[in-house]
Structure 1
Amino acid sequence: MTISNALFRGRVHRGTQQIGGSCIELEADGARILLDVGLPLDADGVSEELLPDVSGLQSDDPSLNAIVISHGHGDHWGLLPLCKPKIPLAMGAATARIMSAAAPFVPNFFVPEITFELIDRKLLQIGPFSITPYLVDHSAYDAYALTIEACGRRLFYSGDIRSHGRKGALFERLVNNPPTGIDTMLMEGSSLGRLDELAQFPTETEIETRLADAFRLPGFIMISASAQNIDRMVSIYRACKRTGRTLLLDLYAMEILRASGNSNLPNVGWPNLSIYVPEYQRRQIAKNKRFDLLQPYKSARIYREHLTDIADKTVMLFRPAMARDVEAAKLWDGARSIWSQWDGYLKEGPGAKLKADFAGRGIALDVLHTSGHASIADLKRLAKAINPATLIPIHTFEGDSFSKYFNNVTRRSDGEGWDV
């Protein structure tokens, strides 16, 4: 549905009432862009019924100038596979590489061909929209907040943001040197309802220290974490170095790290790092004839027959499909497990099943994690720095609570159009 009466108009198609599935449509002078086109977190799978009612996503409409993806989490890009090919895409180059690297390993993959590259604080022109990306701290690598200007009006979109990760300096830079003259701010509020106003999430450095404490205890350790949470991969690796353990990463994790293009991230040849190719990945490679994926990692590979000998000095990045490998190597006795991602995933689905499977083996699942999203205190700092004329809650279940913490809040509903 095209937004009418445009000078510079906006509409949140999904996100004013929930976390995830974000999609914002902007129109100026008859041209339109989308900010994100995410898969809702509670969706059973990708379905055309989930596509927002936006002209041009599945049929020709030249007024849709581009889809701009703020970062590489599926709740911000996951409906892209359903969109018409050749819609111009804007995202960070590393985001595009990571999505491409993930494609051989994950369902609902998407290999993007980007038309416009988001570069930190470099102005990008798409039709009448002047877009300035701001590289931010988030659990997804290469994440951006955005300022969009059109028709003399300015909108700021926070995307997903925090201050307590390994790139926290980016948050400080943003609040100390913010964009000015913002008429409308779309700000995420994932932490509302989950955290007290004055509380702070643990920093990634604190998570590293807690991991190191856990790694000093004896036994084979399995850690469940997202390979695309590169901050966490660094924390796990550094904790291994501090405790003399070897981190076992699979092909998927190594391909993600390599796709980042960052030579300062763990790679082949680094100490305390080996590559283990689990049986299910070996079968995938053989089936798809992707033997090229093995080539860069030959010198650092560890094979199943060696796992038993080194188990007490290793940490395996673990997912449920690796249980057969642990069984074959007889590693269950004395093993320990750590869950290093959102604990909400343990309440149902694969996470709940994994927790039950471990419990059945007498293995406790310890949770060591921090949020990918800003605390309320940091959101208050961000809102004060941006100082928008209007602040619209997004990416939150607690939009009605925003006025308790922030000024100039205006609630909008999904599908409601408004003037920037």
Structure 2
Amino acid sequence: MTESLTFYGGLTTIGGVHIVYGCGDTGLVFDLGMTWGLYAGETRIQPEHGIRNYLLTRMAPPVTGLYHPDYLGDVGEAELRGVWGKESLPSFDKLHGFVSHIHQDHMALLPALRPGIPVWMHRDAQAVYRAVIAAGEYGDTQADIHTVQDREIVNFGAFSVEFIEVDHDTPGVTGFIIHGPKYKIAFTADWRRHGRHPYRIDGFIERCRSARVDVLITEGTRLRPDTLFRKPKDRFEQNVAVECRRAMEDTNGLVYVNILARNVERVADLIVRTREAGRTLVMDESTAVLWHEAGPNVEVLRNHPALEIDRDIIRVLKNPEWSKGPQSKESVELPYKTITISEITTNRRQYAVYLIYPHTPLLAELESMGEQGCTAPIYVHADGNPLTPTDETLHRWLKEFGVDYRYCATGGHAAPQEIADMAEAIDPRILIPLHSVHPTLLDSRGVKRYYPTPGESITLDQLVGQITSV
């Protein structure tokens, strides 16, 4: 039975990985996110045109039967063949999707999928996704979500998939090994070694070694010319919340914290460290909903002390009616007390404000009103949007109000040397680095590499059996 791989997205971009594994009449699409920034700037894709615009700009994979037919309008297979310059597109009687984790570049297509299509993800990833929906960040999906656990094996008929949890900066990140009729393909998902659970990476490597994986597909986000000869020094994940607490102890003014809310393990640690610093954590409604809905339902946070103290530590700064987005969820009843701008500015030394990037202009009120004479406020930027420490808009706001800036990122991706170590340890017959702007920079330690082109479809016999040089 012929096994094939078709490559669409994420080959020379960070995120937006779109690969289709086909075996007989069954196909598996992984992942289901989008590459951001290709058509960004002042333009915005409108929701009513969403998936059509994404498909016609190659930001979404052109897989027949993947999307809700009502959303496609007049965009059909003929148009998509023209966009990709192909005579045919992947089509399967049995189609499945896979989401490795709940970051936008891996899950943003979920609301556009056709009703009932089976989509597989880790149970903790599903819990975060439900929280993201409740918070109004994304619409729901009509796909049929199937949750899996670490090391669970699911039979797809002609092949099986062994799901293996790895470590990244959001819960439930899962790679896999496809056990096909003839070949075995491993996909790392996004991963790192400096997080809370590096043992998961060791387990992934060992399982790939024992399974004698033929093809290893790995992310390479941090492959850059400046990282080739010197391994970057990473801050350990556990230290991020400690740095936030240190900021709260270093000033009697307000402390602002910007963390991506989907990293609920980090948010849990932040809640604990805020209490240790003797402060109260102020959240906007959306962030509070995401935490409240995800925290108790994420298995990895079972028995975390944050779940016992969050009602005492968290206060909610309610959004004015005019600022609420179209997907805002009014039905979520939060157990936290509310707070006003006036209450915060009356005693700044008592509070830490969880300030997401779109709410940066709140600095105007929080720093201009109320209590005066405090030492300089501090802004801790810990992997929240914008992901770069050099965003000019953010720094103009901070400079305007005399807010000290502390960059406290640690990120979710492996150093190039760690990727090379993994490739050497697993020793696949073929290595495919992607999810990277510079995939060709990877030192494969002698493992043969392959660099697919967008839209390329290749059988595993061709890929594994006929490639003789890197």
Q: TM-score range by the shorter chain?
A: 0.7 to 0.9
Query: Contact conserved, 1:383 with 1:406, CA < 8 A, in 2?
Result: no
Counterpart residue identity of residue 13, structure 1: Y
Deviation at 1:206, TM superposition (A): 3.0
Q: Which residue of 2 aligns with 1:396?
A: 436
Query: 2:212 aligned with 1:203, yes or no?
Result: no
1:108-257 equivalence runs, <5 A = 108-111=138-141, 113-178=143-208, 179-193=210-224, 195-196=227-228, 197-218=230-251, 219-250=253-284, 251-252=288-289, 253-257=291-295
**Which consecutive unaligned segments of at least 5 residues does structure 1 have?**
1-5
What secondary structure sits across from 1:345 in the alignment?
coil
Alignment check: 8 A CA contact 1:338 1:366 kept: yes
Query: Offset of 1:263 from its aligned partner?
Result: 3.0
Looking at structure 2, the residues matched to 286 and 31 of structure 1 have their Cα atoms a distance apart, in angstroms, of 39
Amino acid at match of 2:457: G
Counterparts of 1:395 and 1:286, CA distance in 2: 31
Label 1:274 to 1:213 Cα distance change in 2 as closer, same or farther (>3 A): closer
User: 1:339 aligned to 2:370?
Assistant: no
1:159 and 1:188 in contact (8 A); partners too: yes
TM-score under structure 2 normalisation?
0.78
2:409 to 365, 369, 375: 369
User: Which amino acid in the other structure matches residue 192 of structure 1?
Assistant: L
CA 1:407–1:332 in structure 2 vs 1: closer, same or farther (change >3 Å)? farther
SS of aligned partner of 2:309: coil
Measured in 1, the distance between the counterparts of 2:241 and 2:397 equals: 26
**CA, structure 1 residues 11+280, in 2 after alignment: closer, same or farther (shift >3 Å)?**
same
How large is the RMSD of aligned CA atoms in angstroms? 3.0
Q: CA deviation at 1:118?
A: 2.1
Note the C-alpha offset of 1:373.
Answer: 0.5
The answer to whether the Cα contact below 8 Å between 2:274 and 2:313 also exists between their aligned partners in 1 is no
Deviations 1:145-169 (A, max 9, x none): 1101112210000110111111222
Deviation at 1:106, TM superposition (A): 3.9
After alignment, is 123-132 or 176-185 more displaced? 176-185
Take 1:275 and 1:36, find their aligned partners in 2: how far apart are those partners?
A: 34
Which amino acid in 2 is paired with 1:311? R
How far apart are 1:59 and its partner, in Å? 7.2
Contact 2:136 2:328 (8 Å CA) reproduced: no
| Deviates further, 135-144 or 281-290 | 281-290
1:49-85 Cα distance to aligned partner (Å, 9 max, x none) = 2322222223786524210111111101112323322
Contact 1:166–1:205 under 8 Å retained in 2: yes
* 1:46-65 equivalence runs, <5 A: 46=50, 47-48=53-54, 49=56, 50-58=59-67, 63-65=93-95
Does the alignment pair 1:293 with 2:332?
Answer: yes
**CA deviation after TM superposition for structure 1 residue 291, in Å:** 5.1
Name the residue aligned to 2:79: none
Match of 1:3 in 2: none
Deviation digits for residues 130-187 of structure 1 (CA, Å, limit 9, x no counterpart): 0011111101210001101112210000110111111222123333444521111111
Q: Secondary structure at the match of 1:100?
A: helix
> How far apart are the structure 2 equivalents of 1:360 and 1:278?
23
Contact preservation (8 Å) 1:278, 1:322 = no
| Deviation of the 1:386 alpha carbon | 2.0
In the aligned structure 2, how far is the partner of 1:271 from the partner of 1:108?
A: 25
1:16 is matched with 11
- Give the whole-Å Cα distance in 1 for the aligned partners of 2:385 and 2:359: 20
**Cα 1:343–1:53, aligned 2, differ >3 Å: closer, same or farther?**
closer
Q: What is the one-letter code of the residue matched to 1:10?
A: L
CA distance in 2, matches of 1:352, 1:126: 49
Q: Tell me, yes or no, if the aligned pair for 1:380 and 1:406 is still in contact at 8 Å.
A: no
TM-superposed deviation, 1:245 = 2.9
Could you tell me how far apart the structure 2 residues matched to 1:406 and 1:232 are?
Answer: 37
- Give the AA of the match of 1:260: V
Deviates more, 1:322-331 or 1:82-91: 322-331
Q: Against the structure 1 CA distance between its residues 56 and 281, is the aligned structure 2 distance closer, same or farther, given a 3 Å change threshold? A: farther
Q: CA deviation at 1:20?
A: 0.8
Counterpart AA for 2:447: N
Residues 390 and 409, structure 1, Cα contact 8 Å, conserved in 2 = yes
Which residue of 347, 354, 371 maps to 1:317?
354
Contact in 2 for aligned 1:100/1:112 (Cα 8 Å)? no
1:219-246 alpha-carbon deviations (Å, 9 max, x no partner): 2101111111123213423432443333
Structure 1 counterpart of 2:30, from 6, 23, 35: 35
> In structure 2, what is the Cα distance between the partners aligned to 1:343 and 1:224?
8
CA distance in 1, matches of 2:361, 2:384: 25
With 68-77 and 410-419 compared, the bigger mean Cα shift is at: 410-419
The one-letter code of the counterpart of 1:255 is E
Say if 2:68 and 2:115, in contact at 8 Å, map to a contact too.
Answer: no
**What secondary structure is seen at the aligned counterpart in 1 of 2:175?**
strand
Secondary structure of 1:42's aligned partner: coil
Name the CA shift for 1:195/1:242 in 2 (closer, same or farther; >3 Å).
farther
One-letter amino acid of the structure 2 residue matched with residue 58 of structure 1: Y
Task: Give the aligned residue type for 1:407.
Answer: V
1:312/1:401 CA distance change after superposition, 3 Å: same
* Shift, 1:86, TM fit: 2.1
Q: Percent identity?
A: 18
Q: 1:289 to 1:317 in 2, by over 3 A?
A: closer
For the structure 1 residues 287 and 281, does the alpha-carbon distance in structure 2 shift closer, same or farther, using more than 3 Å as the test? farther
Worse-matched range after superposition: 229-238 or 392-401: 229-238
Asked if 1 retains the 8 angstrom alpha-carbon contact of 2:281 and 2:353, the reply is: yes
